Structure 1
Amino acid sequence: LGMMGDASDNIPGLPGVGEKTAKKFIAEFGSMEDLLKNTDQLKGKMKEKVEENAELGRLSKQLATICITCNVTFDATDYELSPPDNEKVQEIFEELEFRRLRDQFIKIFSDETEGTPTMVTSTETGKKEAQAAGSGQFSLFGSNGAAPATLEVVSGRKTIKDVPHVYQSIQPGMALDLFLTNLLKQKKVCFDTETTSLNPLQAELVGIAFSWEAGKGFYLPFSEDKTEAGSLLEKLHPFFSSTEIEKVGQNLKYDIKVLNKYGVEVKGPLFDTMLAHYLINPDMRHNMDVLSETYLNYTPISITELIGKKGKNQLSMREVPLDQQTEYAVEDADITLQLAEHFEKELEEAKTMDLFREIEIPLLRVLADMELEGINLDYEFLNSLSAQLDSDIKALEGKIYDEAGETFNIGSPKQLGEILFDKLKLVDKPKKTKTGQYSTAEDVLSYLAKDHQIIKDVLEYRGLAKLKSTYVDALPNQVEPSTGRVHTDYMQTVAATGRLSSNNPNLQNIPIRTERGRQVRKAFVSRDKDYVLLAADYSQIELRIIAALSEEDTMIEAFENGEDIHASTASKVFNIPLDQVTREQRGNAKTVNFGIIYGVSAFGLSNQTDLSRTEAKELIDTYYKTYPKLRRYMADQVDFARENGYVQTVLGRRRYLKDINGSNAVVRGAAERNAINAPIQGSAADIIKIAMIDIHKKLKEGEYRTKMLLQVHDELVFDVYKPELEKAKKMIKASMESAYKLKVPLDVELGVGENWLEAH
């Protein structure tokens, strides 16, 4: 190991010696020391390298050698398991605000259990297990009417084989009637659909699981016959239409969309555990298996275990035997119900229940309707754009080959790096990757582009190629056959700031800074000649929010007077009259305005503008002198984060920053930038969500034929019935501008067109 080195352990090794050569040297010389004594037996460059790096070789061997002569004392009694110091542990949990862990610790190690769990025999496995008083991260089943709970403090997570449970499949007849009677008596019920597809527009209902008591649940299998399935759903109609029974689920948007396909509307209050956990811990994964293992110390049956791995031998859910369907489906409902009880308390403790009930849950229904609606595509335009892009890509390809003096694979980072930095020698000391290859990442090339035409052309080539493959050629393949429209999926639980993201297709990433990128929007069109697209876009909402939160008077005044904020900033920063601000000065001020939110540095600003690093630093310093309250607000946000471990939006959405007090300066710096940025981005996200909920409600109550179709960043897109256009414009603008009252007025710009590009 000393000869060949090990990069993961920072052991350098001898240059030019790999595993094969190291083995050969060991066989010939026996050790590093003997190799270094006999270098005269080596030949050529290898002899030269070994002799020149003899000290490095000795150091490498030392680093790779485990020291076995350390003076270590061992006393077995030091490693005996003893009861914890309850008081000290609780003090630590209180200090760190680990309320859930504190409560679970108290339940397990309180005086009621005499500090040590007692031993019982599980009714299903006959194994000795540790008994606990309640549920928590350490136990799946609590004492709320379920069978006695068991707990393995040391032995690891439980599975369905380890816990008492009663899961029943219900067949038509008396059992079904009795089940339905009991179902309608409940105040809170968890339900979970089992289907044949992850695409709700193509999914067929296989069964629905229900649970309203820990450890118990029911499964209703559905026939492939549409008439029989419809008849069973009709019997469930009183439950789904009840406004009194709270429906609990994990990713309820999917279930709502599946049931919508069968003509079933899910009414009444909702509790989605995925959304709840997103508010509790936005940076963590939110799928049910992870949540179950984290909070209930229980590993659910995996879908792979049930239907097999992807491939020709994978079963559909309908092919799974009924008893296995029942166990899998009801277990999901049972776990989700118990997670809901945990998360309800945590939402209350974090004071985010209002955000959950009034924003995220209502938005779930709004997004479900938007996704079901979809949007039309102009196929002819996409085909034309694809051909045009293909021609432009080939022209750029030829130009790059001429500049390089040879043909090569432009898409290969290795070949591109060799052309740019070995052959053309564009940089004296090019940046390299960890593997020693030249880096041709976009940020590296962008920095060099202004000085080298070939790099400009390569970046343009990449942009056009990505645009063509990711959007222009891909969009037609994402049309849903049953509707002829594109149905993007909006995800509420991905961006930690609270922003929505979308997938299939990802509308958030359609490039809009280039003319070609903007052309993609032209492919999204109204449903027919009786409709037009309307785009409603918040104007500079993030700047308005930071002006309001910082109470920066000069910035607030500029917004109140309807001034061009970037020109106004340039006027103040460069100390010139507003009417004398040049286009370049306004552009630089705009870059600073938006860059401040993301913690732009002098280095970053100089890369984004034509300013030198010194000029960029002077501009940023002058900016902060011009807006002192803004700087104070940013410092206060970082201080708040350091003290509390999180920052929050205007509605109390929290962004936890675990690295804010970290020792690593780079990581800590990123957390500090997030402390400034997250409340701004998150507040903008909160505000547009409020607007979406309000507009959706008014469209329904007003019986509009107009539909809300898309949400992209700070913009909403509508399919507007032409006779409703003026009425809809007035309502949408008013709803968006009054969504949340700030010290700065919100401003919404409207555009109308036959396609999204025209409307935007």
Structure 2
Amino acid sequence: MSKDEIVLIDGNSVLYRAFFALPLLSNDSGVHTNAVYGFTNMLLKVLEDKDPSHILVAFDAGKTTFRHETYKEYKGGRQKTPPELSEQFPVMREILDALGVKHYELPQYEADDIIGTISKQAQVDKKKTFIYSGDKDLLQLASDHVTVGVTRKGITDIDEYTPDQVKEKMGVTIDQIIDLKALMGDKSDNIPGVPGVGEKTAVKLLNQFGTLENIYENIDEVSGKKLKENLINHKDEAFMSRELVTINRESPVEIKVEDLDYNGYQSRDVIELFKQYGFKSLMGRIDGEEEEVEREDVSFEKVDEFTKNLVSDQENYFIMEMLEDNYHNGEILGFSLVNEKGQYFIPTDVALTSGDFKEWLEDEQSPKIVADAKRVKVALQWKGLDLKGIQFDLILASYIVNPSNSNHDLPSIAQGNGLVDVSYDEEVYGKGAKQKVPEEDVLSEHIVRKGIVARKLYPILDEEVKKNEQEKLIYELEMPLSLILADMEYLGVKVDVDRLEEMQQDLSERLDKIEDEIYELAGQSFNINSPKQLGKILFEELELPVIKKTKTGYSTSADVLEKLQPEHEIVDKILLYRQLGKLQSTYIEGLLKVVHDDTHKIHTRFNQVLTQTGRLSSTDPNLQNIPIRLEEGRKIRQAFVPSKEDYVIMAADYSQIELRVLAHIANDEKLISAFRDDKDIHTQTAMDVFNVKEDEVDSLMRRHAKAVNFGIVYGISDYGLSQSLGINRKEAGQFIEKYFESYPGVKAYMDEIVQQAKHDGYVETIMKRRRYLPDITSRNFNKRSFAERTAMNTPIQGSAADIIKKAMIDVMEKLKASDIKANMLLQVHDELIFEVAKSDLDELNKLVKEAMENTVELNVPLLVEADHGTTWYDAK
């Protein structure tokens, strides 16, 4: 492709298309991202395919435009933009800035007008221009030098229109596009057009008469009495509609083509944003040159024999280096030790064969400042060493002080605090397939530099923790928890591999059976996994109603199939076939791959510094994500078993902890009373919202009440609730309004917490975990709205996370002080999983319930439900 090409994108149109095309997605911070993800995916494809010299994304500046002077009802009747979409506009602009793509909006004008004006400038200079939109409104701009691309359902699928292709696909010329729209009207923009004139009729009229004017000049030649009457009676509307749909190519834009030059982007900036918003699948498409940074030379000593003379009585900055994400039994590349005595590199073999090193490492009284104590402890446990004496964890401190940062590795923390003493790991090791360990002199210097920067960071982070009054949070919660999590990771969970393989076989047989049933219902065999073949069976052979079409044929997506369920029994079987196929490939095969060869256990990794709410997550594998709504998914838990004979699995689960925290924080009398009286909170809410007695609450009412209860915790909007319940937005809004009438304390809390956040710039959990909200006072409505929702729900979600973390510490303290033979294995959301000797089951049950229910004092009781069984599945 020629580099001298211009790309112009209709930002609003593409974002809208992406939002409604993709399922609602959100990152770990709760920011909705589906529209931004779809738009960014399309944008990267355009950048790769076109390699433009100039690029612009145009946005609508507001609801009112010059067209409203012509027709007050222009775009009237449109539903209010869902807040889940509104909040994504500022995110999209943030990503455009990182990608080096200019964006622009002009008061009183639409994105179409900006694009029309800029493309006209480019056409004068005969520059090749590509325009991209989510609808066909911009086809009128196509010319010999301008190609218009219209995204299809998949967002990255784009139909490109030149004037010839417009004629071929639409049946009219470019010059006739405006008249076509004038006759047809446009419901989405509330453009009236002529009643009874659809696309086919409009095309026929224009092919016969050429223009709108000629149609009216020869109105007597129009065939069809009703059509002629409509045309005559709605002549004014037709010409007004043409005025409304005509793009203004003389808009007073303050930019010119030469202002839109595109020079690429800094890959690190883009990657940081992609990490923040969870766009892992897009990160592999980002590449670029890194800036050279001048760093001071460092001197250090390579240790050939570790002795206690190297160790200080004061702080010892101790760094362990590994490349593997999965650090269980992985290769340790070396250590650094930095203190007032010197700067040392300790080769792995020197450290692991030294008695003095082991003695110092396991000395509780010898203070060590580390980065990621959990990781260091687990890796060393696999080498037979037990890390003790941790005074401070730089990674945890960074997370507590700056929870919105997406990266808490040592180089990122250093750079964030203005220290450039150490390179990013990818600069030293490379990334992806090119990753490798460098020569020892490069490796040793990199590891020592980490020790040096750790020494500089400690006073900075320590001061921040104290300033925020977060000493208890780090020293009494996060640091003790990290050591407990390390022991849990090292211990692992026993997996019955034979049972997993048996499940795999059973699922294969079940899938074969369902496959045969589908073939019988279809009357022929075909590839069920082929959307094209499946579409042909459903919509041509079985003649089911067509819901959606794609560029390649009929859509057979899950949402389409769900709508078709009442139409034919084959649909249920296809949905089940897909669900079971995913269980087999993603979960059963995925679990079998990560069973440790020697221990026959799964050693998941708990992420302690990931979410802004303080929630733990797990990876390699994600044991918090095993699907349990489908019985076949729940059964996967049957493969998780005790590691010893005469042991059982016990699960202890907080009951409705977030709603109890809400009752406490909001201090709502009615909510508090319901929990104190041990009422079913969803039934109680249904009684209040629907104004019925307890015996009149049916299952549907309770389900709706449950969705509202949990939705309130997550700051749900009327749109979000309507999607989850399958009702319209008006009904959903009424549910939420009635909820607030029933629980005025909750409404008062939400109003007050927003005001407090505006004053302080952050909100806190009951244990002083902060979440900063820089957009809470933004003039941008979308940014401010999302920050307000976050202010409401973070104290609830974050406090619930704090409570179960403290419960884990309390349980382990009591367990270690007892003679009970048991191990804590997992934390999954609000649930703790143990293995325990059968003889000690009752004692453990009592200990755990007592510790968990009394870990903090709230205005409402905390309730823990515990059960046990021979497998995790049975402990439900």
User: TM-score, with normalisation over the residues of structure 1?
Assistant: 0.74
The equivalences for 1:467-546 within 5 A come to 467-546=583-662
1:495 partner amino acid: T
Task: Give the aligned partner of residue 409 of structure 2.
Answer: 287
Report how far residue 747 of structure 1 moved.
0.5
Name the structure 2 match of 1:167.
300
Q: Structure 1 residues 306 and 201 mapped into 2: Cα distance closer, same or farther (>3 Å)?
A: same
- How many Å separate the matches in 1 of 2:130 and 2:738? 60
Aligned equivalents of 2:346 and 2:703: distance in 1? Answer: 62
Moved more, 390-399 or 366-375: 390-399
CA contact (8 A) 1:571 1:577 kept: yes
Give the aligned residue type for 2:506. Q
Corresponding position of 1:698: 814
Deviation of 1:357 (Å): 1.1
Which letter maps to 1:287? D
Corresponding residue of 1:52: 176
The C-alpha deviation readout for 1:636-666, integer Å capped at 9, x for no partner, is: 2222223333221111111223333345544
What letter matches 2:864 in structure 1? V
Q: Decide whether the 8 Å contact of 2:421 with 2:449 is kept in 1.
A: no
Deviations 1:715-760 (A, max 9, x none): 0000101222111111111110011100000000010100011112
Q: CA deviation at 1:468?
A: 1.6
Distance 1:407 1:615, change over 3 A: farther
Give the distance between the partners of 1:649 and 1:590, measured in 2 at CA. Answer: 24
Match for residue 309 of structure 2 among 138, 160, 181: 181
- Work out which of the residue numbers 314, 325, 330 in structure 1 matches 2:443: 325
Which is worse superposed, 715-724 or 556-565? 556-565
Displacement of 1:713 in angstroms is: 0.2
Q: Match for residue 855 of structure 2?
A: 739
| Residue 443 (structure 1) shift | 6.7
Counterpart mapping for 1:380-419 below 5 A: 380-394=498-512
Structure 1 residue 403: deviation in Å?
A: 7.9
In the alignment, the residues of structure 2 paired with residue 609 and residue 31 of structure 1 have an alpha-carbon distance, to the nearest angstrom, of: 48
Secondary structure of the structure 1 residue equivalent to 2:454: helix
Counterpart of 1:218 in structure 2 is 344
1:266 to 387, 390, 405: 387
Letter matched to residue 243 of structure 1: E
In 2: Cα distance, 1:518 partner to 1:739 partner = 30
- Identity across the alignment (%): 36
Cα distance, 1:555 vs. partner? 1.6
Question: In 2, distance between residues paired with 1:540 and 1:607?
Answer: 23
Partner amino acid for 2:859? K
The one-letter code sitting in structure 2 at the alignment partner of 1:181 is N
How far is 1:695 from its partner? Answer: 1.3
Distance 2:6 2:544 in 1: 35
Displacement of 1:499 in angstroms is 0.4
Q: 1:726 to 1:304 in 2, by over 3 A?
A: same
Q: For 2:690, which of 574, 582, 592 is the aligned residue?
A: 574
- Quote how far apart the aligned CAs of 1:250 are: 1.7
CA shift in 2, pair 1:400/1:548, >3 Å: farther
Deviation string for 1:259-308 (max 9, x for gaps)?
22233222223322221111122121212222222213416345455455
Quote the Cα distance in structure 2 between the aligned partners of 1:694 and 1:736: 8
Partner of 2:456: 338
Kindly provide the amino acid, as one letter, of the partner of residue 418 in structure 2.
L
Q: Matched residues in 2 for 1:660 and 1:401: separation?
A: 56
Greater shift in the superposed pair: 277-286 or 530-539: 277-286
Report if the CA contact (8 A) 1:480-1:486 is conserved: yes
Alignment match of 2:759 (pick from 636, 643, 646): 643
User: Among 548, 560, 563, which residue is 2:676 paired with?
Assistant: 560
Q: Distance in 1 between matches of 2:668 and 2:563?
A: 34
Structure 2 counterpart of 1:527, which letter? S
Q: Deviations over 1:222-264 (max 9, x none)?
A: 33xxxx75541x2123432333443222222111112222332
Aligned counterparts, 1:723-738, within 5 A: 723-738=839-854
Name the CA shift for 1:393/1:336 in 2 (closer, same or farther; >3 Å): farther
CA contact (8 A) 2:539 2:545 kept: yes
Instruction: Quote how far apart the aligned CAs of 1:52 are.
Output: 2.9
One of 465, 476, 494 as aligned partner of 1:358: 476
- AA of the residue aligned to 1:273: L
**CA 1:568/1:50 → structure 2, altered by over 3 Å: closer, same or farther?**
closer
Q: Give matches, 1:72-111, under 5 Å.
A: none
Q: What CA deviation, in whole Å up to 9, does each residue of 1:366-387 have, x standing for no partner? A: 0000001111112232223223
Amino acid at match of 1:729: N
- The residue aligned with 1:139 is none
Q: Within the alignment, does 1:192 sit opposite 2:319 as a pair?
A: yes
Provide the rounded CA distance (Å) in 2 between the counterparts of 1:659 and 1:422. 52
Deviation, structure 1 residue 321: 4.0
Distance (whole Å) between structure 2 residues aligned to residue 191 and residue 505 of structure 1: 29
1:251 to 364, 369, 372: 372
Query: What is the alpha-carbon distance in structure 2 between the residues aligned to residue 383 and residue 686 of structure 1?
Result: 38
Give the residue type in structure 2 aligned to 1:52.
Q
The CA distance in 2 between the partners of 1:622 and 1:188, in whole Å, is 58
SS at 2:874 equivalent: helix
1:569 offset after TM fit, Å?
2.1
Query: Residue 208 of structure 1 aligns with which residue?
Result: 335
AA aligned opposite 2:448: V
Structure 1 alignment gaps of length 5 or more: 23-28, 33-38, 71-155
User: In structure 2, what residue type is equivalent to 1:272?
Assistant: D
| 8 Å CA contact 1:158, 1:298 repeated in 2 | no
Separation of aligned partners in 1, 2:786 and 2:565: 26
Give the equivalent residue in structure 2 for 1:135: none
Cα distance in 1 between the residues matched to 2:512 and 2:334: 53
Is the counterpart of residue 237 in structure 1 residue 237 in structure 2? no
